[in-house]
Amino acid sequence: MAEQDSTASLEEMSAEFMKIMEKNQQTFTELLASPQETLSAMMDPFNALSSFGEGMRQMAMNPQKLMAANMELWQSHMSLWQETTRKMMGQESTPVAEPAKGDRRFKSADWDEHGVFDVIRQSYLITSQWLTKTMSDIDGLSEDDARKIQFHTQQMADAMSPSNFLMTNPQVIKETVASGGQNLIRGMQNLKRDLEAGDGQLKITMTDQDAFQVGENIATAPGKVVFQNDIVQLLQFEPSTEQVYERPLLIFPPWINKYYILDLQPENSFIRYAVGQGYTVFVVSWVNPDSRLAEKTMDDYLREGILASMDAVEAASGSSEMSVIGYCIGGTLTAAALAYLAEKGDERIKAATFFAAQVDFSEAGDLKVFIDEKQLESLDQRMSEHGYLDGEAMSNAFNLLRSNDLIWSYYVNNYLLGKDPMAFDLLYWNADATRMPRALHMFYLREMYLKNSLVQPGGISLDGVPIDLTKVNIPIYLQAAKEDHIAPYNSVFKAKGLYQGPVRFMLAGSGHIAGVVNPPSANKYNYWMNEAQPADLDEWVDGATSHPGSWWPDWDRWLSELSGPKVDARQPGDGKLPALEDTPGSFVSVKS
């Protein structure tokens, strides 16, 4: 009977394997039929080969340094062999290489308990650490070449981890034996599902897509849509206090994602928190653009996004004064809008908060790896077919910044262990990507990341107005996160030296998302504050005090003093703008 079950399992596995191979063959055939320039772009999509070629040339010019590096690698492996021999003989031994703190690839006890896997793990760590160190220490490279080599070398090292392979991952071997190979059958089915979902490209499922429904169990803060145009829906949320601050709060989330990162569940909703503190909260829900909006520009997003929403808030609330929040790329545009308003003499915005928002892109982190003229030309050509960048492309780039956590861990879980991912609201939101109009996106990448034009007075103009951030003189709350890979805190801090008004810089724990979405009730992470607010980052960090838990109350104390007296609470639709539909609105429901 056991032999029959084993044969059936083998036949089922073979059948799934053949289906996947047929799909891959079809994709490969289509690839070979592509134009030569398309093939070239696909073979080197990150324009990294020339950087590696220059790296090899520079290394060849210094053979002594390369020989010393090779000797270091050989000595490390000899030390591993010696320590392994001691361990096998029952003597005290010391690990030669250990995973970095927070590296979850080797958390299973099997890596420690079985000598063979301990050797495999240490050998990999020795080699990968040596490789990344050696490739990061090449003399004579340009900054761009050095950044590309370091980033892509790390990607290669992560991909070759023994945890990613069936025969060198003890947890996978144990599961394969225990289940009679059923995990591999389920894994092949999961792989087939994700290949079909990506139309031949692997689209890794990170969470249970059936566990959440926008407007039902996420994005549920009650309110109304009170304004709409081609680019935005403006949401006004119902008050939960009898009185509210006179000045309403208008939030501009990033248009590369959907607004409900700020309203996932009731217990971690920043929107509900702000409403509960007595603010009349308005939030922009950006359109998920299609081909019709391909030529929408940064000028359009300023006029129809920022300025139109400000006018609508004034009409809906009856207040000509307000405060704003800009998150990530939404914050970049908000900063430019503040400079635009200053030039025009428009003083309606009295205070501004920025969540993980960059304006000086000189130290913008690993995302700059994807930005050079050749890659931008390829991207522009790719977008020209439909007039927009598919949301999946940007998500893939962000995932590469943390590939072990956001790619390989799911690869092992879904395809080797054959498990389904857990339900996780943040990852559901992350997968609910949005498209970007071609004209807007190319302007943003060229002028911000490639040229760093926004930081230069008059470096860009919006709607005919030269943008000069040094003319912004209102109070600013500048949030950054210590582990942010998308908007590094040293990059965010640079804005502090540009604005002329008082700036309260705050450094939160965690990263780009959890560093923002950290409600007081969770009692997680911490934040750092330096009340002296020195202009130098190192001085700021050295003199900062750590505070436990959420930074939201600190922000509330700051903004409450800048929001005017209390007035009777405003209900959505009671002002000059009628309610159009219930929140979360229809824009947020459009899938890419």
Active site residues: 328
Output the CA torsion 394→398→404→406 (10° steps). Answer: -70
Residue 106 phi/psi, 5° resolution?
-115, 30
Which of these, 311, 243, 258, 327, lies nearest to 289 by C-alpha position?
A: 258
Helix (H, G, I), strand (E, B) or coil at 227: strand
Burial class (CB in 10 A: 0-12, 13-18, 19+), 521: exposed
CA distances to 78, 88, 113, 267, 268 from 263, in Å? 54, 55, 44, 9, 7
Measured distance CA(378)–CA(386) in Å, rounded: 14
Whether omega for the bond prior to residue 584 falls within 30 degrees of 0, making it cis, is yes
Measured distance CA(158)–CA(172) in Å, rounded: 18
Helix (H, G, I), strand (E, B) or coil at 320: coil
The set of residues, in sequence order, having a beta carbon less than 8 Å from that of 178 and lying 6+ positions away, is: none
Residue type, 155: Q
Tokens of 250: 């208008």
Measured distance CA(88)–CA(84) in Å, rounded: 6
| 439 DSSP assignment | H
Tokens of 340: 């635009």
Measured distance CA(97)–CA(121) in Å, rounded: 9
Which of these, 348, 343, 276, lies nearest to 312 by C-alpha position?
A: 348
Measured distance CA(30)–CA(9) in Å, rounded: 32
The set of residues, in sequence order, having a beta carbon less than 8 Å from that of 405 and lying 6+ positions away, is: 104
Q: How large is the greatest C-alpha to C-alpha distance in the chain, in angstroms?
A: 84
The set of residues, in sequence order, having a beta carbon less than 8 Å from that of 584 and lying 6+ positions away, is: 214, 215, 219, 220, 235, 259, 260, 263, 285
Side-chain half-sphere exposure of 64, counting CA atoms within 13 A: 0
Measured distance CA(425)–CA(420) in Å, rounded: 15
Helix (H) or strand (E) holding 177: helix 170-179
Cβ(276)–Cβ(537) below 8 Å? no
Residue-by-residue DSSP string for 372-404: SHHHHHHHHHHHHTTTEE-HHHHHHHHHHTTHI
